[in-house]
Amino acid sequence: MSKVKVGLIQIHCGEFIEQNIQKTIEKIKETVNKGAQIVCLQELFSSQYFPQTVSVENYDLAEDVDSGALAEMGELAKELGIVLIVPFYERAGAGIYFNSAAVFDADGECLGITRKNHIPDGPQYHEKYYFVPGNTGYPVYETAYGKIGVGICWDEWFPEVARILSLQGAEILFYPSAIGSEPDHPEISTRPSWEKAISAHGISNGVFVAATNRVGQEKDMNFYGGSFISDTLGNILASLDDEEGIIVQEIDLKEIEKTRNILQFFRDRRVDTYDPILQKEMLPTPSPSKKGTNKGLSCSNENRLQWKKSSMAST
């Protein structure tokens, strides 16, 4: 089976968790009625985006992996015969919390959990207070309807995540998100950049991309929605604007091989030259300069030569 229907759900979250869950379940059933076989929910789907503020009380929103809400989603996946990606706030232990996503197969089995690796921090995105950086790596799940990988929100901006998932055989990259207004730059909308950056992963890896976002006003933030599905050439196949809704889009996984036979990025990769990408930074280390001189970067060429020599030696 090469053709599969992908469903995304984009809703506005209210203050009451149970209402958000019930609304989401209704939307899941709506996507299934339209033929969806793999359904992805938005990041932290059951609550409003609480990292807008710092409050110790918000730790109470976290749940164990064997919680009733997740069990209910597993049963729903089994009942409907779908693969279901469920992002949630995970309590792993006392004082240890992750931003996670559980992946349920069409028989209701939990195939595993992906924990968000890249944790942002900025005005009204205070995620470092709430989430420990993920320790699950970048797993790929072989589901009833294809091989999928998951990157959670900030992860979606990093090309390394998409490449690692694709190298492991992922055919569809899912990116549950919670992104909207930039409080310190109210004149800027990152939505066009968000769509371009994420859909571009499909081009450079020859895979399908499905990104889902929340929408609407939550306290001081407005989430712009814009959920979409793109193909192996980065073309947007279906999308939503700034309203609640669902997407159901059929894709043909055979397009992956067709695209990679044209754009041979995997064949032509030079992994022997990529050592610098594993460094946090490679900027020249300045040496102290004397007052009134311009010799502060005198060691930069030496640093570059040293790296070139070590790189050549490794080959």
Which of these is catalytic: 23, 90, 153, 195?
A: 153
Burial 268-298 (b: 16+ CB within 10 A, else e): eeeeeeeeeeeeeeeeeeeeeeeeeeeeeee
**Residue 43: active-site member:** yes
Known catalytic residue at 116: yes
Q: Which of 23, 43, 156, 195 is catalytic?
A: 43
- Specify the 3-state DSSP secondary structure of 186: coil
13 is catalytic: no
Please name the residues in contact with 191: beta carbons below 8 A apart, sequence gap of 6 or more.
Answer: 224, 226
The active-site residue, picked from 116, 127, 171, 195, is 116
Handedness of CA 92, 95, 96, 101 (dihedral sign): positive
Give start and end residues of each alpha helix (H) in the chain: 17-33, 68-80, 127-130, 159-167, 191-205, 254-262, 300-314
Give the residue ranges of DSSP H helices in 87-142.
127-130
Under 8 Å between Cβ of 27 and 11: yes
CA distance 99 to 89: 5
Q: Which residues are catalytic?
A: 43, 116, 153
